[in-house]
Amino acid sequence: PSFTSLTQDRRQLSVPEKRPRRHCERFLMHRLGPGMAQSPDPDLNIVLMGRSGVGKSASGNTILGQAAFRLSEGWGPVTMRIQMEKGIILGKVIRVIDTPGIVSSKEELKTFCQRLLRSSTPLLFLVLVTTGRFTDEEKEAVQAAITVLGDEGLANSFLLFTGGDELNVSLQDHISQSKRSPLQDVIKKFGDRYHLFNNKEPQDEGQVRELLRKAERHRTRELLRFKAEGRLETSPGSPQVRQSWQILAGQRVPPSCREHHLRERRRTLEPTRTACGKELAE
Which CATH number is 178's domain given? 3.40.50.300
User: What is the length of the chain?
Assistant: 282
Cα 223 to chain centroid, rounded: 11
Q: Which of 149, 163, 133 is nearest to 62 (CA)?
A: 163
pLDDT in tens, 185-194: 999 999 999 9
**pLDDT reported for residue 282:** 47
CA angle 11, 16, 21 (to 5 degrees): 65
Q: Does residue 160 surpass a pLDDT of 50?
A: yes
Q: Are residues 50 and 25 in the same domain?
A: no
pLDDT in tens, 221-234: 877 766 666 655 55
**pLDDT reported for residue 139:** 94
In this prediction, what percent of the chain has a pLDDT beyond 90? 45
Give the global pTM.
0.71
Range of the domain at 264: 3-31+254-281
**pLDDT reported for residue 207:** 95
Q: Are residues 25 and 97 in the same domain?
A: no
| Structural domain contains residue 36 | no
Average pLDDT, the chain: 77
Beta bridge partners of residue 159, listed in sequence order: 127, 194
| Structural domain contains residue 248 | no
> 11-17: long-range contacts (C-beta < 8 A, 24 or more apart)?
13/265, 13/268, 13/269, 13/272, 14/265, 14/268, 14/269, 14/272, 15/268, 15/272, 15/275, 16/228, 17/228
**pLDDT reported for residue 253:** 53
Q: Are residues 25 and 54 in the same domain?
A: no
CA angle 221, 225, 231 (to 5 degrees): 135
| Structural domain contains residue 152 | yes
Q: Are residues 221 and 119 in the same domain?
A: yes
**Exposure class string for 51-90: b at 16+ Cβ within 10 A, else e:** bbbbbbbbbbbbbbbeebbeeeeeeeebbeeebebbeebe
| DSSP SS3 for 128 | strand
Q: Are residues 21 and 48 in the same domain?
A: no
Q: Are residues 99 and 26 in the same domain?
A: no
Q: Are residues 276 and 198 in the same domain?
A: no
| Structural domain contains residue 259 | yes
Q: How far apart are CA 177 and CA 136, in angstroms?
A: 18
Q: Are residues 47 and 27 in the same domain?
A: no
| Structural domain contains residue 209 | yes
Q: Are residues 198 and 161 in the same domain?
A: yes
Q: Are residues 237 and 260 in the same domain?
A: no
- Total domains in the chain come to 2
| Structural domain contains residue 38 | no
In this prediction, what percent of the chain has a pLDDT beyond 70? 62
Q: What is the CA radius of gyration of the chain?
A: 21
Q: Are residues 61 and 27 in the same domain?
A: no
Q: Are residues 144 and 273 in the same domain?
A: no
